[in-house]
Copies of this chain bind each other. A is one copy, B any other.
Amino acid sequence: MLERFHVPEADQIRVPPEALRATVERIFMAVGVPEEDARQGADVLVYADLRGVETHGVSNMLRVYVQQYRTGQLNPTPELHYVIESPSGLVIDGDRGLGLIQCPKVMRLVIEKAREQGVATASIRNLGHTGPIGYHAMLAAQQDMVGLSMTASGSQVLPALAAEPRMGTNPIAVAAPAGERPWLLFDAAMSAIASNKIRIARRLGVPLHPGWVASWTGTPIMEETPVPEDGDFHQLPLGSTRELGAHKGFGLALMVEVLATLLSGSVPRMLDPEVGSRHFLAAFDLAAFTDVERFKQTMDDMLGMLLETKPAPGAERVIYPGVAEAETLAERSKNGIPYHREVIEWFDQVTAELNIERLERL
């Protein structure tokens, strides 16, 4: 993640990962989520924070989930409903469950199917937030498969050259195992920047970079700007301007909409503001395509060559998606996860309210 998103040292409080896991699990259970699901939800959020994916860990989103469970927007005990099943494709209704708890379950079904068929996919409708979608892709990688994961959600991003937002940030994730090297793990919004990064920038008081957002009239803001008030700006697609490729970010977001939304028999948020998130998962069983060891060796060779690539002037090194995450995982597993003190204050408040143990800190 870019330097500007890191929590300043002075505002940091470190929390042991296992303490975080226990507290998050208890919070989920306190709002009605069954124990096994609560454990799954905690695992996804701790995964994000251990890897430095602050945008999708507990800081931004857990309080939103708690609120959505309390207001009934999220169903704490959903039953996944098979809408259609073909030999390699699944369509599932998520029954208003939290996506980050339900998607891993569906990915496990997809993995089973892929083991028989070579390839399998699922299109899922009617979910809550799907969290750090790289987690779901990684479940396939852990089974010697290539995993894909995409989410269609929201309608805050402008199409190319538009003045009105229509698209979600529609992230795409891919995970693939390697041998010795950190595994490939790509997970990125098809907007110029993830929505949660804007929230973090606001909390940290740092400005937005040129090309990240447009004015409310649709003109890309091409200089540094303080985070505008909600309603005073729109998010731009990846590519930012037409010349730099905004039509490509827009087109990729439409691809996600087709695979996740249209194939699951749902509609995009631009047509129905009340519709739940839609998701697309796919797994490709390596053994059905090629020699598994050869695949991992070629991954190692390719990823090693990327790491040895000469950096551009001003850059320290070249890395590929997954490397920084693996390094942060190693460091935070040892030293705990750093949170902004405001996040810890929220934990203290919510654990008191829910009458569960206070979050342990280092």
User: Does B192 lie within 8 Å of A312, measured CB to CB?
Assistant: no
Q: CA separation between A298 and B148, bound complex, in Å?
A: 24
Question: What total of chain A residues lie within 8 Å of the partner, measured CB to CB?
Answer: 94
Smallest Cβ distance from A113 to chain B, in angstroms? 9
Task: Mark contacts of A237-255 with chain B using CB atoms, 8 A cut-off: 1 yes-contact digit, 0 otherwise.
Answer: 0111011110111111011
Task: Mark contacts of A1-44 with chain B using CB atoms, 8 A cut-off: 1 yes-contact digit, 0 otherwise.
Answer: 01000000000000000000000000000000000000000000
Q: CA separation between A258 and B243, bound complex, in Å?
A: 28
Asked if A138 is an interface residue, CB under 8 A from chain B, the answer is no
Query: Which chain B positions have C-beta within 8 A of A116?
Result: 87
Task: Mark contacts of A260-291 with chain B using CB atoms, 8 A cut-off: 1 yes-contact digit, 0 otherwise.
Answer: 01111101101100000000000011101111
Oligomeric state, in number of copies? 2
What is the chain B residue whose CB lies nearest that of A324?
A: B247
Q: Which of B89, B166, B217, B299 contacts A118 (CB 8 A)?
A: B89
User: Does A257 lie within 8 Å of B302, measured CB to CB?
Assistant: yes
Q: Closest 9 CB pairs between A and B?
A: A86-B118, A218-B312, A89-B118, A186-B251, A161-B315, A86-B288, A265-B290, A88-B119, A88-B88
Smallest Cβ distance from A148 to chain B, in angstroms? 8
Asked if A211 is an interface residue, CB under 8 A from chain B, the answer is yes
Query: Which chain B positions have C-beta within 8 A of A291?
Result: 265
Q: Which of B218, B240, B263, B314 contacts A244 (CB 8 A)?
A: B240
Q: CA separation between A338 and B126, bound complex, in Å?
A: 48
User: Does B186 lie within 8 Å of A320, measured CB to CB?
Assistant: no
Q: CA separation between A305 and B166, bound complex, in Å?
A: 9
User: Does A2 lie within 8 Å of B211, measured CB to CB?
Assistant: no
Residue positions of A touching B, CB distance < 8 A? 2, 84, 86-89, 91, 116-121, 123, 146, 148, 158-164, 166, 172, 174, 176, 184, 186, 188, 190, 192-193, 209-211, 214, 217-220, 238-240, 242-245, 247-252, 254-255, 257-259, 261-265, 267-268, 270-271, 284-286, 288-291, 294-295, 298-299, 301-302, 305-306, 309-315, 317-318, 320-321
Smallest Cβ distance from A196 to chain B, in angstroms? 15
Smallest Cβ distance from A322 to chain B, in angstroms? 9
User: Does B86 lie within 8 Å of A119, measured CB to CB?
Assistant: yes
What is the chain B residue whose CB lies nearest that of A115?
A: B86
User: Does A302 lie within 8 Å of B263, measured CB to CB?
Assistant: no
User: Does A255 lie within 8 Å of B86, measured CB to CB?
Assistant: no
Q: Please, could you name 12 A-B residue pairs with CB atoms under 8 Å apart, sorted by A? A: A2-B242, A84-B288, A87-B117, A117-B117, A123-B289, A161-B317, A162-B310, A166-B305, A186-B251, A218-B313, A242-B315, A262-B298
